[in-house]
Structure formats: structure tokens, C-alpha cells
Amino acid sequence: MFPEFEVVPAVDVQDGEVVQLVQGERGTEKTYGDPVAAAERWVDQGARTLHLVDLDGAFEGERANAPAIDAILDAVDVTVQLGGGIRTAEDAVDLLDRGVDRVILGTAAVENPDIVAEISEQYPDGVLVSLDAKEGEVVVSGWTEGTGLDPAEAAGRYEDLGAAGILFTDVDVEGRLDGVQTEPVRRLVEAVDIPVVASGGVATLDDVRALRGAGAAAVVVGSALYEGRFTLREAMAAVESS
């Protein structure tokens, strides 16, 4: 999935615009304009993968920004992983058939783990299971509901079901630009043999290096890029030189 460590820009879409939330809470969003323009900007800077999220879909349970997502798919020619509001195997397979490289399943995978195996039978590299953790507990439904699941234990279960990778979002630091926590990432990396993609809290180039050092296969970066803390090119260069 990630032959070498990647810095993956996030394009989170709400009401047809790019936004970043603080700790996933509605009402905290800051808006950054047109999704297609953002996607093209990151690709121009060298992104090999884009991380797309339909935030309205994540909260409401059904995809709400399909036109914006489709426009991005038409505009760029890089690997695309998409999450938010994908609740059935049929929805996931339809997206994979249309050119999405990986679907991100969070709530759907927690509520129905077998969906991972069902999709993976058709697309062995097509499922990235999203384990979003708050205070050490997996949360779902746009980070609003606790599940009682331990992220490392859950990751092993999804690996057995055929997940191609785990997307781990540390909700405690997400969107705050205060830095990352490496220990939760390290625990996940040690628990599974599939790639772990880290997300949440990145504020500096040192944070990117730290997550790589913790064993992550890639890191998703949102607010730090949009706020100009560093450029995508700088992040890629920092990793290559470390």
C-alpha cells in the first residue's frame, strides 16, 4: 500500500467546501475554499496520495458531498482514499469501481465487521479501516459515540478480516496543532503486520518525523498544511533526509 513513507494531504469536505475541525467537533470548522483547487494544489506539490473525507457523510451516515468528491476524482491522477458516510459493501464497491483506490470504513466496520471481508474479496487492497480513538477508546459516528473497543485489539481483528491497512486518528490531538502522541501509534504498529496510517495533531516537521519513527507507513496532514506551518514539499524533504 505504501512502499515508502508518505505524507498524505487531507481534503475534508463539508457543505461543498474544504474545512478542518478541532477534535472532530462541528462548529469548530475553519474553511479553506474549493475542494478541487485544494486537491490540485497538493498534487502540484508532489502528493502521491490524497485523503478525502465527506464530513457531512461521517456525521449523517450517508454521503452528502458526492459532487465535490467526483470532481476531485475527475481532476487528479493520484491514489485516492475516501471515507465518510460509506455504510454498505455496495456503496464501497461502487466507489472502488468508479476509481477510488481505497475506501475508509469506520462506523460501518465497527457495526458490521464482516463488511471488511466482503469488500476485500473483490478488492484485496481496497479497505482501510478507520480506528479513531479518544482517551484510548475507539469512537464512531463522527467521533460522537464510544464503542468500548481497544484500538490495538480491534486492529488485529480487522487484519484477520482482510483489511489492507489501518487508519488511526488520535482524536485527543486532532486539529489542535499542538503536536502528536507517538505511543498509541507504536502500539498499533506492533499489533498488526499491515500498514498503519497515522492522523491527528501534526503541527511541525518534527511531528512528521516522530510518526515515521513510531512505525507509521504514512501520515495524514490537514490543518498544518492549510495553515502554512510547513509545505508539503518541506514535509517530504524532511522525511527523505531523516
Catalytic residues: 12, 132
Our CA dihedral for 173, 81, 93, 32, rounded to 10 degrees, sits at 80
Residue 178's CB: how many other CB atoms inside 10 A?
Answer: 11
* Helix, strand and coil in the chain, % to nearest 5: 40, 25, 40
Residue 222's CB: how many other CB atoms inside 10 A?
Answer: 25
Residue with cell 479553506: 32
Residue 26 DSSP one-character state: T
Residues 103/92, Cβ–Cβ less than 8 Å:
yes
